[in-house]
């Protein structure tokens, strides 16, 4: 457990050294829960704490049918090539509870054993009542019990491929299975290999705005629950009276969120790991009509409803399969909220997506995870890469190799609000990051040598940069395919580099490699596709 030992040493360092990194009370722990992974909030920002310190998930998710033991040999080589610290893997309800009340934790245990051997954490994905809006992962005793666990019925009276959130039998069964999973996990994982759990997968319904079955209709005609009225600052009334045209969708969102909130709460009662749900998104600019997207799931328009209905869920996370800059960053804006820690649990695995790791960091993400990262032979093109080979992995592997040894340093700087990071927008070739006394200027497409003229941008737009403030005149900088330079806010002065050190963090310790000077600094700090991290001291003259 090399990696875990490293983290523990880092934790001790944080506790015993009067670090320049901030007040120790930041890391004050409940002594009984010192090592339990959890989400911590401070000053409107969030961090995922693992082993008592902020942690950055350098993640990837396997294909849907890749968590079976026979498939794992086609998973681990990719995990290593990507330099992951966390793997997201499904737990299939149909496997975990093949017959009612008979639980089989063997796959879970295999995953735990092998993750430990490969020195990575796990995020478990509970594929239960919902998987991409459908009930395909439910065990046969659920699938065949249409009378008690019915499908959603649309406005025309037709069943659609999604289970009703109004089935008490369905909820009881899902909740019981998930609780058993968390109970088993607690016993089998004292070292917290698993750091977070996703409850269901892309819940919601395609093909209907809500359930129109008689049972659902009766509830819809009833009163809006008081807790939701309070959260939405509304007066009492029926769903239609309170929410007008949004009533059908809001009712469905409340119903699904409430169901999943119950499942999560029961699981947390036995083992309180951080829990989240993932969203199949609406187009952020042209959402379309409810029913055309995964309606009732945690889409951007119903985040407040989910927050009120499912308080056991720590965060709502967008699955981002929109490669264009405007949409991607708009989605990040929509889910980066004062009441919602930012996490990208799934994103496309084609090269265009790799740079958004930096934009996610710039939105204070606790982690990032491209989907479909294994060599089982399945690819989800066109929303992902057409093949998974070393070339496809390279840009993701580069990012994680840069951040792999400084994940906790970066997570901490982000938690403290000292970090800014950007991905290249093909329409904007220079970005200025404001640090008060200093401005960091990120330019794309300039040569390493020579001042160049106007930055032309990269083709394709694959640049990315991160700048974090370590002291009044000291910054941590890394980038790919970008030039980073600094300007004093006081334009009567000019910047000079006092020292530019290349090195790498091991835990919280900085290991010096060399000083950049001459050609390497005369034209700004130019980053290629090499894994390079700099500590930069500045002054003016």
Query: CA 136 to CA 242: how far, in whole Å?
Result: 34
Nearest to ligand DGJ of 134, 340 (CB atom): 134
Query: CA 231 to CA 228: how far, in whole Å?
Result: 5
The gap between the terminal CA atoms of the chain, to the nearest Å, is 49
Question: What is the largest distance, in Å, between two alpha-carbon atoms of the chain?
Answer: 79
Nearest to ligand DGJ of 191, 324 (CB atom): 324
CA neighbor of 332 nearest in space, from 358, 306, 294? 358
Using CB under 6 A, pick the residue from 201, 203, 526, 531 that binds ligand DGJ.
201
202 binds ligand DGJ (CB under 6 A): yes
Query: CA 457 to CA 427: how far, in whole Å?
Result: 8
Q: Work out how close the CB of 90 gets to ligand DGJ at its nearest, in angstroms, rounded to a whole number.
A: 8
Beta pairing partners, 320: 347
134 binds ligand DGJ (CB under 6 A): no
Using CB under 6 A, pick the residue from 19, 110, 217, 380 that binds ligand DGJ.
380
- Long-range contacts made by residues 380-388, C-beta under 8 angstroms, separation at least 24? 380/63, 380/349, 381/350, 383/321, 383/348, 384/321, 384/348, 384/349, 384/350, 385/348, 385/349, 385/350, 385/351, 386/350, 388/78, 388/349
217 binds ligand DGJ (CB under 6 A): no
132 binds ligand DGJ (CB under 6 A): yes
Q: Work out how close the CB of 371 gets to ligand DGJ at its nearest, in angstroms, rounded to a whole number.
A: 6
346 binds ligand DGJ (CB under 6 A): yes
What residues numbered 263-322 form the site for ligand DGJ, per CB under 6 A?
319
Nearest-CB residue for ligand DGJ: 380
Contact 526, 478 (CB under 8 A): no
Identify whether 144 is preceded by a cis peptide bond (ω within 30 of 0): no
Nearest to ligand DGJ of 343, 415 (CB atom): 343
**Strands, DSSP E only, in 289-416?**
315-320, 342-347, 365-370
Side-chain half-sphere CA neighbours of 451 within 13 A: 1
Q: Work out how close the CB of 202 gets to ligand DGJ at its nearest, in angstroms, rounded to a whole number.
A: 4
Quick one: the chain helix, strand, coil %, rounded to 5? 35, 30, 35
Q: Work out how close the CB of 372 gets to ligand DGJ at its nearest, in angstroms, rounded to a whole number.
A: 6
Q: Work out how close the CB of 447 gets to ligand DGJ at its nearest, in angstroms, rounded to a whole number.
A: 39
Nearest to ligand DGJ of 97, 346 (CB atom): 346
Query: CA 179 to CA 186: how far, in whole Å?
Result: 11
Nearest to ligand DGJ of 61, 521 (CB atom): 61
200 binds ligand DGJ (CB under 6 A): no
Q: Work out how close the CB of 323 gets to ligand DGJ at its nearest, in angstroms, rounded to a whole number.
A: 14
Nearest to ligand DGJ of 386, 517 (CB atom): 386
Regarding beta strands 419-423 and 464-471, do their DSSP bridges make them parallel or antiparallel, or are they unpaired?
A: antiparallel
- x/- letters, 60..99, toward ligand DGJ (CB under 6 A): ----x-----------------------------------
203 binds ligand DGJ (CB under 6 A): no
Q: Work out how close the CB of 264 gets to ligand DGJ at its nearest, in angstroms, rounded to a whole number.
A: 17
Interacting residue ranges for ligand DGJ, rule: CB under 6 A: 64, 132, 201-202, 319, 346, 371-372, 380
């Amino acid at each position: 457990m090399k990696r875990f030992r490293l983290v523990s040493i880092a934790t001790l360092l944080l506790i015993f050294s009067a670090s320049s990194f901030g007040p120790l009370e930041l890391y004050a722990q409940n002594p009984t829960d010192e090592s339990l992974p959890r989400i911590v909030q401070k000053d409107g920002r969030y961090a995922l704490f693992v082993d008592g310190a902020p942690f950055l998930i350098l993640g990837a998710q396997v294909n849907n049918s890749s968590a079976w033991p026979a498939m794992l040999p086609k998973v681990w080589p990719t995990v290593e090539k990507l330099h992951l610290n966390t793997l997201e893997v499904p737990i299939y309800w149909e496997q975990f509870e093949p017959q009612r009340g008979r639980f089989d934790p063997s796959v879970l245990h295999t995953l735990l054993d092998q993750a430990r051997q490969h020195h990575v954490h796990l995020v478990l994905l509970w594929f239960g009542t919902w998987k991409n809006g459908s009930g395909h992962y439910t065990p046969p005793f659920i699938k065949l019990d249409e009378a008690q666990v019915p499908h959603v019925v649309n406005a025309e009276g037709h069943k659609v491929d999604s289970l009703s959130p109004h089935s008490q039998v369905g909820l009881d069964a899902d909740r019981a299975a998930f609780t058993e999973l968390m109970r088993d996990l607690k016993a089998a994982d004292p070292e917290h290999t698993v750091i977070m759990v996703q409850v269901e997968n892309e819940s919601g319904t395609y093909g209907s705005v809500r359930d129109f079955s008689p049972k659902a209709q009766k509830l819809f005609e009833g009163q809006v629950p008081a807790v939701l009225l309070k959260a939405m600052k509304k007066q009492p009334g029926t769903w239609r009276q309170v929410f007008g045209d949004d009533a059908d969708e809001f009712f469905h969102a409340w119903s699904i969120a409430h169901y999943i909130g119950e499942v999560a709460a029961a699981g947390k009662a036995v083992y309180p790991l951080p829990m989240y749900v993932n969203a199949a998104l609406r187009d952020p600019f042209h959402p379309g009509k409810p029913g055309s997207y995964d309606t009732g799931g945690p889409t951007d328009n119903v985040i407040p409803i989910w927050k009120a209905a499912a308080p056991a869920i720590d965060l709502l996370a967008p699955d981002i399969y929109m490669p264009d800059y405007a949409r991607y960053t708009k989605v990040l804006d929509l889910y980066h909220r004062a009441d919602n820690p930012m996490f990208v649990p799934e994103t496309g695995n084609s090269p265009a997506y790799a740079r958004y790791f930096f934009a996610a960091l710039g939105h204070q993400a606790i982690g990032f995870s491209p989907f479909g990262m294994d060599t089982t032979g399945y690819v989800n093109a066109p929303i992902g890469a057409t093949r998974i080979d070393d070339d496809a992995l390279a840009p993701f592997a580069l990012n994680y190799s840069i951040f792999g040894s400084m994940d906790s340093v970066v997570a901490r700087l982000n938690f403290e609000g000292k970090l800014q990071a950007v991905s290249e927008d093909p329409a904007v070739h220079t970005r200025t990051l404001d640090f008060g006394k200093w401005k960091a200027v990120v330019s794309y497409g300039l040569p390493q040598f020579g001042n160049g003229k106007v930055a032309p941008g990269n083709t394709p737009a694959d640049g990315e940069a991160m700048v974090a403030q370590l002291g009044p005149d000291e910054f941590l900088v890394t980038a790919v395919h970008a030039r980073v330079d600094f300007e004093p806010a006081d334009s009567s002065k000019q910047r000079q580099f006092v020292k530019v050190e290349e090195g790498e963090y091991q835990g919280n310790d900085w290991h010096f490699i060399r000083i950049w000077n001459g050609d390497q600094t005369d034209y700004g700090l130019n980053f290629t596709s090499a894994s390079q991290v700099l500590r930069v001291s500045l002054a003016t003259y």
